[in-house]
Amino acid sequence: MTNSTTDTRAALSNYVLHLADTNLILAQRLCEWCGHGPILEQDIALSNIGLDLLGQTRSLYQYAATLIGEGKTEDALAFLRNERQFKNLLLSEQPNGDFGYTVLRQFLYEAYQLLLLRALQQSSDSQLAAIAEKSLKEATYHYKWSAEWVIRLGDGTEESHQRMQQALNEIWTYTGEMFLPSADEKALSFAGLIPDLTALREEWFKKVSAVLEEATLDIPALTVWMQQGGKTGVHSEHLGYILAEMQYLQRQYPGQQW
């Protein structure tokens, strides 16, 4: 960070917050499954993935806190910001639906994570690169697990197939936002700190299409109307409820530590 301007530093802290927020909210969603999974092993798998995401989130918030300064802590960033300050992808805050919906949401996200983290390992920002290197190994497991379930359920019974198709048509509209760069992302990509998201999109589409085809699902077009707003703090109605539950303790009893 030695040569970067104040602007780049602000863009970077916003970007790290965006990555952290998405992981945190998705982890919170996955942990809602704890004790409710269809079978014990998959219940454990969902919590395990949630825990990995939460761990990555901590590294990201700790880094964001050092970038922001002003005595910020990881706890303050996770528990004391409001809805409009969260920059997570809308995808991560969508309700779990059934098991098929959850694994499909995870699959579409992890495919993106794999490509993004692989690219971020080359970032000229060494801390971001280190976090990406660490997270990539975990994302590989998550991707494999979710892709296998998408295939089993998509190419499963008539009912599981139909539910997966319906889930896909719905979640698909939340994937466009991944590749729609915010002003901060444009600046960082220009400065060579993060990859060009538009370029990642083709690769992502190829990767997910191969699995969705094997799952015998009809793949929606990249050109369908896409939801957006999460990166700039404009969320669906669901985020407020998640934050109310997640932040309750910290707001009621200030000063708790993670």
Partner 1 sequence: MVKTEADIWTLLASVPDPEVPVLSILDLGVVRAVSLSPTGDQSAVTITITPTYSGCPAMDMISMNIRIALLEAGIKDISIVSQLSPAWTTDWMSEEGKRKLKAYGIAPPLSNAIVDELFAEDHKIQCPQCNSMNTELISQFGSTSCKALYRCLDCKEPFDYFKCHR
Is residue 211 within the footprint of partner 1 (CB under 8 A)? yes
Beta carbon nearer to partner 1, 42 or 236: 42
Binds partner 1 (CB under 8 A): choice among 138, 195, 231, 242? 138
- Residues in the interface with partner 1 (CB under 8 A) total 33
Note whether 45 binds partner 1 by CB under 8 A: yes
Residue choice 22, 113, 135, 189 for contact with partner 1 (CB under 8 A): 135
- Candidates 14, 28, 56, 94; binder of partner 1 (CB under 8 A) is 56
Q: In angstroms, rounded to a whole number, what is the distance separating the alpha carbons of residues 164 and 159? A: 9
207 binds partner 1 (CB under 8 A): no
User: Which member of 16, 20, 24, 54 binds partner 1 (CB under 8 A)?
Assistant: 54
Binding to partner 1 by residue 51, rule CB under 8 A? yes
* Chain centroid, CA 170 distance in Å: 17
Q: Is the CB of 18 or the CB of 235 nearer to partner 1?
A: 18
10 lies in the binding site for partner 1 (CB under 8 A): no
Choice between 8 and 135, CB closer to partner 1 = 135
Q: Is 113 in the site for partner 1 (CB under 8 A)?
A: no
Shortest distance, CB of residue 210 to partner 1, whole angstroms? Answer: 9
Q: Does 117 bind partner 1 (CB under 8 A)?
A: no
Site for partner 1 contains 49 (CB under 8 A): yes
Residue 151 is a binding residue for partner 1 (CB under 8 A): yes
Binds partner 1 by CB under 8 A, chosen from 73, 140, 166, 227: 140
Residues whose CB falls within 8 Å of the CB of residue 174, separated by 6 or more in sequence, listed in order: 89, 90, 91, 94, 226, 227
29, 93 contact by CB (below 8 A)? yes
41 binds partner 1 (CB under 8 A): yes
Degrees (nearest 5) of the Cα angle 181, 65, 87? Answer: 30
**Residue 126 interacting with partner 1 (CB under 8 A):** yes
- Residue 126, C-beta contacts closer than 8 angstroms, at least 6 positions apart: none
Piece of the chain touching partner 1 by CB under 8 A; list 73-81, 131-139, 170-178, 196-204:
131-139
Applying CB under 8 A, which residues contact partner 1?
41-42, 44-45, 48-49, 51-56, 58-59, 126-127, 129-131, 133-135, 137-138, 140-141, 143-145, 147-148, 151, 211
